[in-house]
Structure formats: structure tokens, C-alpha cells
Amino acid sequence: MNRYKFSALLIALFLLNACSGNATKDGTDDVLVEERNGASTSGVTGQGADGSDLGAEASVIVGEDGYAGSELNDPSNPLSNRVIYFDYDSASVRPQDQPIVEAHAAYLGKNPNLTVRLEGHTDERGSREYNLALGERRALSIRQLLMLQGASAQQFRVTSFGEERPAVDGSDESAWSQNRRVEIIYIGR
């Protein structure tokens, strides 16, 4: 029992941290601007949390082992599946992934105070700028399905990373197929 309480506290802390974003940021070393002559650094910027940190924190919230009772973490529940994969240059959800999307739609419908970030990604082939747009198209296609099935517009943030943040490094179909994806990231309320 005690142990359970401790986990809950941990989760709450993570949540707080995720929501406050850059409260504890050493974010200043995220971005360095240098003078042309390269002698020294100047104009250090980089306000704001970087996306990867947010993502990591966010997935800890829902991924903690101690978060007993959550449908999101029950491996037999389709909600535990939060990555949707796509065919090459396609933004259509494959038939076998429909039940996963439906489950998330129903869950978001039942929990209107939950928000998710939809992150669209592509494989590395072709134009980077086109891929950035394709990643967004994928994320929007998931959003549309989720909204058609019960979620509401204000529950979503949509971001595309194009091919810039592969899940798997590599230049073969196995890596590519894992990189063509939309990640559904629950970020609390």
C-alpha cells in the first residue's frame, strides 16, 4: 500500500514537471549561437523546453509500472498501443490499426480533460521538407479519425518532425517501417 502511494507521488511529480515545462530548465545550453569568426559564443538562446524532454517525461507518466489500474498500461488493452504505423508516402490508417485508433477515441471521449500530442514522422527517403508536411498529414489523419469517433478538437496538439527524429537509425525497410509513424502521447490535462 505504502509502495503504491509512493508511486502515485512520483507520478504526480512527473506530471507537475511535464506541465511546468521549462521550470527546471538548463535549457540555455540547448542552442548556442556563435559569432562568424567562431572565437566565442554570444546571444545564447533556447528558451523553452525541448520537445524530446517533454516527450520522455510524458511517456514516463503513462508508462510507470506503478500506475496500476490504468487502461493505458494494460498490455492486453489496445490503449497500450500508442504508435500507429503507415505505408510509404501514405497517411491512411491500415485496417489492422483501426481498433487501436477507435480505443483511443473512446478513451479520450470518456476523459475529456485528457490531452494528447500527435507527433507525425516519416522515413528518411525523399525531400526533407516534403516529409515534414507528410508527417503533419499523418498526424492530422489520426486526429480526424479520433474526432470522428468521440474525441474533441481541443484535446489535441499536432506536431510534425518529418524524417528528423527517427525511432530507429538505419537505411533499410525494417528501420523505415518503424519510422513511418504517429506517436500518440498523453500529456495529462
Residue 58 Cβ, how far from another protein at the closest point, in Å?
Answer: 11
Q: Which three cell numbers stand for residue 118?
A: 500527435
Question: Smaller CB distance to another protein: residue 103 or 140?
Answer: 140
Contact pattern for another protein over residues 126 through 165, marking x by CB under 8 A: xxxxx-xxx-xx--x-----------------xxxxx-xx
Nearest residue to 105 (alpha-carbon basis) of 114, 57, 73, 75: 114
Residue 87 Cβ, how far from another protein at the closest point, in Å?
Answer: 14
Question: Smaller CB distance to another protein: residue 51 or 99?
Answer: 51
Residue 150 Cβ, how far from another protein at the closest point, in Å?
Answer: 21
Question: Smaller CB distance to another protein: residue 8 or 133?
Answer: 133
Q: Which residues contact 131 (CB under 8 A, 6 or more apart)?
A: 122, 123, 124, 162, 163
User: Measured between alpha carbons, how far is 133 from 131 in angstroms, rounded to an integer?
Assistant: 5
For another protein, the binding residues in 86-115 under the rule CB under 8 A are 89
Residue 127 Cβ, how far from another protein at the closest point, in Å?
Answer: 4
For another protein, the binding residues in 6-65 under the rule CB under 8 A are 26, 29-38, 41-43, 45-52, 54
Residue 155, amino acid: Q
Nearest residue to 161 (alpha-carbon basis) of 180, 141, 147: 180
Residue 88 Cβ, how far from another protein at the closest point, in Å?
Answer: 10
Chain-centre distance for alpha carbon 101: 15
Task: Please check whether residue 84 is in contact with residue 126, taking contact to mean a CB–CB distance below 8 angstroms.
Answer: no
> Angle 178-180-184 (CA atoms, 0-180°, nearest 5)?
90
Question: Smaller CB distance to another protein: residue 47 or 77?
Answer: 47
User: In this structure, what DSSP letter does residue 110 have?
Assistant: H
Give the footprint of another protein on this chain (CB under 8 A). 26, 29-38, 41-43, 45-52, 54, 89, 125-130, 132-134, 136-137, 140, 158-162, 164-165, 171
